């Protein structure tokens, strides 16, 4: 996943957007998606959801210390310390869709807040 996310970040850098593997990177990516998703075909959206999800997932790995793990259906997810699973690729697919109603930043923040509730004294 990291290789895919790194390649995506390099590709986006050509447009003048530097994506760091943290919240600021997710915010910048969310803006990029909002500005461009209506220009993408259904095939583009499917392809983009995988690399966008990989990038957001890698931001969660770097920020929250999560680890990628395969799910029973074969989809990659991130194991959460309270036993759940984060699915950034599924969230990315919803974000790049025609309605684009799933904010990547909100998802990133929500996962962080949930982790903080179990790791805070």
- pLDDT tens, position by position, 64-87: 999 999 888 878 999 999 888 999
Count CB atoms within 10 A of the CB of residue 12: 19
Residues 56 and 94: beta-carbon distance below 8 Å: no
With cut-offs at 50, 70 and 90, classify the pLDDT of residue 120.
Answer: low
C-alpha 48/C-alpha 81 separation (Å) is 28
Write out the residue range of the structural domain in which residue 72 sits.
2-119
Nearest-10 crossing angle of helices 88-96, 23-36: 30
List alpha helices for 14-85, DSSP H.
Answer: 23-36, 42-64
Whole-model pTM: value is: 0.92
Report pLDDT for 59.
98
Mean pLDDT of 2-22: 95
Nearest CA to 2 out of 56, 45, 46 is that of 56
| Percent of the chain with pLDDT strictly greater than 70 | 98
Reduced to 3 states, what is the DSSP secondary structure of residue 79?
strand
With 0-12 / 13-18 / 19 or more C-beta atoms within 10 angstroms meaning exposed / middle / buried, residue 35 is: exposed
Report pLDDT for 113.
94
What integer best gives the mean pLDDT of the chain? 92
pLDDT at 112 over 90: yes
With cut-offs at 50, 70 and 90, classify the pLDDT of residue 119.
Answer: low
| Domains held by the chain: number | 1
pLDDT at 102 over 90: no
Residue 95 host element (H or E): helix 88-96
């Amino acid at each position: 996943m990291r290789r895919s996310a790194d390649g995506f970040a390099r590709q986006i850098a050509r447009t003048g957007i530097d994506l760091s593997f943290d919240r600021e990177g997710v915010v910048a990516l969310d803006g990029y998606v909002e500005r461009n998703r209506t220009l993408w075909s259904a095939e583009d959206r499917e392809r983009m959801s995988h690399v966008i999800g990989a990038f957001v997932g890698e931001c969660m790995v770097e920020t929250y210390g999560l680890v990628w793990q395969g799910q029973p259906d074969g989809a990659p997810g991130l194991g959460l310390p309270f036993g759940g699973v984060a699915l950034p690729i599924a969230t990315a697919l919803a974000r790049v869709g025609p309605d684009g109603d799933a904010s990547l930043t909100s998802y990133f923040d929500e996962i962080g807040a949930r982790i903080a509730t179990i790791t805070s004294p």
